[in-house]
Chain A
């Protein structure tokens, strides 16, 4: 065994030695820098470089050729730059594994074991000490690093990074892209201030808007007070300095309100006008009763982060990057119902599953969520019955549906008017074993479900149970100081509180690198935190829907019932 290890070490040393010699003799210094790419427009260079960085595809469209551990060939699409250095190129820091920055601004500076100006800030100092010192890169030494895996000190990085088989021209394109990556701070950031905005769609209940704004403005005001204190009190400034560094501690924040009026088709022009008048670093929260897609598109195209808008209809995408949502919206409840029923499908003895869907946006989203997940289970498709918009489901119609299909489980994706139709169902012969409805769709009427229905009716509930939420009251008290708590919708308030917390934690971790992509990179690296309202919020790299779960609950007995869980936190 030991001989094998020694043999393996010897082979690796030989590989490294040969590769180093290759850098000396096969790649004469200077040849790569001399490659002329001036025939390409600057925007085209950036586009092609970004394609290599994000997708691992050469300008020709073919996959880049990567070599892992020196000589094991792999397609570059499996080892993209972005997967370790992240979108911003500022690098990553997860589970004690640090990946250094790869943006030109930092690469072309000498690396020291400290960050100048931040020597006494613990978080900066710890970060800087993870990486070995090196001289500033030049185009030639950077090209050598990419193609051979050796840095300017002769140190091999092949254990942790592939080398890429790029010709001189493609290497020059990549280097040009890295020089442009996270080069200037993003718009909305100045020496003394970071500007934010929140989008409010006209027509949303003013009380809901007030609940959304309160925690955000509280957070902004607290930060600005702290910045003032920072300037006036050297002792307190030292404390802030230890946590945030001198730069963030002294900066003030502002929050503009971008109110969108009229039809969604007109929002884009309004957003563009707001942005032209006052560019912001990021959008925080935001609220809409319906559409959010135009805001989502605006953020994608202008590369502006939008942290956790409050909408029931998030844009579902596996590739969009700039908007981070709380969840996949109400459809997530339909998905959870499908997973819950799947877990006990063997008990149904062949009886059908019937899905009654209200023909409207909420009902359709719930129905689609259920249908899509159910289709992946391999069970027979559910019987689907669509309720026309505006036509209430009568008790008689419901009894007919039950008599005809004799379902094991009945899903009722409708609003609270459906509760009247359910009366009497518990006594009907051949009734379903369980009826599942959406707590979000029923709204506050879910607390008025009659005693006779409580054994039969199950609810999808995408939040932490209310009786377990009390521990967050303490945090919310700071926001609600001097206010009447009952004036504010607690769900909206708590969601908005999460936005403020997420922002402050992220900015501290950004270490003064104010790039929009880095804000999202940092959120992606953030360890799971315990936040109000949601049982679990996860911000994994590239994940755009923070809460992925839902409880199935029943309403307990009595005049002041609690929710009783019938499932664990059902996740995707």
Chain B
């Protein structure tokens, strides 16, 4: 599911993707997309109804709350033996997504901060992360 990204991260992402496509970025960087190392955490959102249409703004805003919060990284799911920390790298990043509701058009504007996930050195810990339990279905 793609969505347009504005702000500094959008420029960085575009550069990385373009660089990867033309093949002049180092293989290691190309193999590890920058987006995998960032976490987006929403802290505000708003609903933008389709132009010229009358829309229920209250329901739109409520649905955008769910839509935008679903984009937030759930850092509670990070499991690494050494632990991690989040370093803020960009504030007030805006992400626009389609509302995707069958009864209501428009877009959600999700505003949040971007963080770099800084994994601690796990060398001194026994890494058992390769042992995975099957997914819950």
Contacts and interface: CB of A to CB of B under 8 A. Distances in A.
Given A433-B102, A556-B1, A566 B136 contact: no
Interface stretch (B9-17, B19-27, B45-53, B62-70): B62-70
B59 A565 contact: no
Q: How large is the interface on A (under 10, 10 to 19, 20 to 34, 35 or more residues)?
A: 35 or more
Contacts of A447: 137
14 contacts: A343-B59, A344-B63, A344-B103, A346-B56, A347-B56, A433-B102, A433-B103, A466-B135, A471-B78, A473-B132, A486-B134, A564-B70, A565-B66, A565-B70
Contact of A477 (B59, B74, B131): B131
B124 interface: no
A491 B137 CA distance: 8
Interface string A443-460: 010110000000010000
B76 interface: yes
A568 B65 CA distance: 9
Given A346-B56, A473-B79, A474-B79, A485 B133 contact: yes
Contacts of B132: 473, 485
A110 interface: no
Given A347-B59, A473-B132, 10 more contacts: A344-B103, A347-B103, A347-B104, A433-B103, A468-B76, A470-B79, A485-B134, A490-B133, A491-B137, A568-B65
A81 interface: no
Contacts of B70: 564-565
Nearest to B55: A347
Interface in B57-86: 59, 62-63, 65-66, 69-70, 74, 76-79
Contact of B1 (A348, A470, A557): A557
Contacts of A467: 77
Interface residues of B, number: 26
B101 interface: yes
Given A433-B103, A463-B136, A566 B128 contact: no
Interface in A345-359: 346-348
Interface centre among B66, B101, B137 (most CB of A within 10 A): B137
Contacts of B78: 471
A293 interface: no
B37 to A, nearest CB: 18
A24 B104 CA distance: 74
A444 B136 CA distance: 10
A490 B59 contact: no
Given A470-B77, A556-B1, A348 B103 contact: yes
Contacts of B136: 463, 466, 469, 490-491, 494, 533
